[in-house]
Amino acid sequence: MRRILLLLLCLSLLLSGCGKLEDSTPYDTLDELREYYGTEEVEEEIPLTTFTLPYCSGETWDPLTCPDGVQRTAASLIYETLYRLDETFTPQPLLVERADYDAEKFVYTLHLRSGVLFSDGSAMTAEDVAASLLRATQSQRYGPRLWQVRTVLVRGNTVEVTLSEDSRGFPALLDIPVIKAGTETQTIPVGTGPYLPNTDMTALCPNTCWWQKKSLPFDTIALLRYKSEEAAAYAFASHDVHLFVYDLLSDISLASASNDNATVAETAVMHYLGFNLSKHYLTDPALRRAVSAAIDREEIVSAALSGHAVATQFPVHPSSPLYPRTLEINPSPSAVYEALAQHELSDGEWKYQLRLLVNDDSSFKVAAAQRIAETLNRYDFEVTVLALPWEDFLYVLEQGNYDLYYGQCKLSADWDATPLLGEGCTLNYGGYASEVTNTLLAAYRSAQPDTRAAAMEALCRHLQEESPIVPLYFERVDVLLSRGAVDTITPTATEPFYGLEHWKVNWGDAPASE
């Protein structure tokens, strides 16, 4: 009864919108529940006799178009990708055996792995891969990253992809699922992955045609249907399902109040501070560097984001081998004052009054923006945070009625920051333009594997000087498992079940039949 009351109180708090706060402290459902009961909830381990995943009724399972959430989590067991990204976001061939590149024609030739069968027993062909790639270029999820693709052609058992310019990091963009051509209109298209759903949608069963033939820990995975992500989150909290991928920074859900095992998965979603460069006082790189130098990213991650992010000073994830760690600079009041002195702002007689725009869809992002404002206000700034709903946020951003904005974007795993920094590009809200930056971006994209790290370092050194944006941190998501269910997992942002063959599942005894 106590646990039922706990869950009901969780649900009432969720529905009442208690996740939105005006102060800088993120809402902690669990703390309020502890205060309500005057004690801490001790979570007991429940023996695992079946492994169950949720899915949403009425939604497609097509991995190219289905939304983020439980559907994509379950679908990752049905579909495989051309390349897969490992824990460092490095592309590893999967359905592609190898790729050749013609640097003069900007053509990638994808040599497909032989012997790959779909779950219906038919062979995967170049036509299937080309069809999936073409659909990906037109999809909301993958289209923006594939902006360089001009043509996709079938050549025997290979697929030729012609780009609009030299890009040596293109394979990192190809963690794209492949489905059998002609099945895309089905609710569950045909894939090549290790599992497939049974006819009544009650379980994922082993794909006997799976080309990898690895031994996996689950003979079957039970499925439970829910009407929404919120209902699925509630089902996880009540142990009806056993795995849930949870993004704390996006919203508050019942999963935040669970005391289950959580394993962090790094993502390519970067949070950053942007400048309105139509404001003359923000056009000086020295002033922008001062803002960057003032911000203690680690402190914000710890205090405002509950550790659900990893600090960064550059638009590349710190776990990537391309991250230029030697260029990092510690937060420095002296560097801030030096830059401010150039603007005669260090004497305290006059302050820059700045409006910091932030979307209020997450109390964590608002808390981070407020901490940034508090930090800058220790110097000769007077920063006011303006938290707005998404539509209003976009309107003010497009109208240019702000000085700073708190932004986030999902970078591609080739770490090409052109959409953020290229003149006239879609995410370049601040209006930044620099021929030097464009040249360095192009040089990085075209760098050979053995010079790629040096090209990234040169680009980041320039961005550090220019500070057109201030990278802050990359989001982390939690892969939540029922307590004691599995000893160790190694999920990635795109594959919650990455390394599934190595899972050690702790099974309990099945209940005795009456």
Of 86, 87, 59, 64, residue with least CA distance to 76 = 64
Whether 355 and 404 have beta carbons less than 8 Å apart is answered as yes
Tens-digit pLDDT string for the chain (514 aa): 344 334 433 444 333 333 333 344 444 444 443 443 344 444 566 678 899 999 998 899 999 999 889 999 999 999 999 999 999 999 999 999 999 999 999 999 999 999 999 999 999 999 999 999 999 999 999 999 999 999 999 999 999 999 999 999 999 999 999 999 999 999 999 999 999 999 999 999 999 999 999 999 999 999 999 998 889 988 998 889 999 998 887 754 544 444 457 899 999 999 999 999 999 889 989 889 989 989 999 999 999 998 899 999 999 999 999 999 999 988 777 777 776 666 655 445 567 789 999 999 889 999 999 999 999 998 878 999 999 999 999 999 999 999 999 999 999 999 999 999 998 888 999 999 999 999 999 999 999 999 999 999 999 999 999 999 999 999 999 999 988 889 889 999 889 999 999 999 998 754 444 4
Say what the pLDDT of residue 343 is: 60
17: Cβ contacts below 8 Å, ≥ 6 apart: none
Domain locations in the chain as residue ranges: 1-57+199-260+482-505, 79-192, 265-476
CATH superfamily of the 265-476 domain: Dipeptide-binding Protein; Domain 3 (3.10.105.10)
Compute the distance between CA of residue 496 and CA of residue 76 in angstroms, rounded to an integer.
8
Q: Which residues contact 194 (CB under 8 A, 6 or more apart)?
A: 77, 206, 207, 210, 212, 214, 216, 500
For CA atoms 154, 158, 159, 161, give the dihedral sign: negative
Tokens linked to 194: 């290790």
Instruction: For residue 434, give the nearest of 411, 401, 392, 462 by alpha carbon.
Output: 462
User: Burial letters for 383-416: b for 16+ Cβ neighbours within 10 Å, e otherwise?
Assistant: bebbbbeeeebeebbeeeebbbbbbbbbbbbbbb
Please give the C-alpha separations between residue 212 and each of 125, 193, 195, 220, in angstroms, as whole numbers: 17, 9, 12, 17
- How many Cβ atoms are within 10 Å of 232's Cβ, its own excluded? 27
Query: Are 473 and 310 in contact, with CB atoms under 8 Å apart?
Result: yes
- The third-level CATH classification (topology) of the domain covering 79-192 is Dipeptide-binding Protein; domain 1 (3.90.76)
What pLDDT, on the 0 to 100 scale, is given for residue 258?
Answer: 46
Question: pTM to 2 decimals?
Answer: 0.86
* Sign of the dihedral defined by the CA atoms of residues 63, 69, 70, 76, in that order: positive
- Name the H helices within 23-172: 29-37, 70-75, 126-137
Looking at residue 288, its amino acid is: R
**Would you list the DSSP string of 269-295?**
EEEEEEE-TTSGGG--HHHHHHHHHH-
Question: Which residue has tokens 């998965």?
Answer: 265
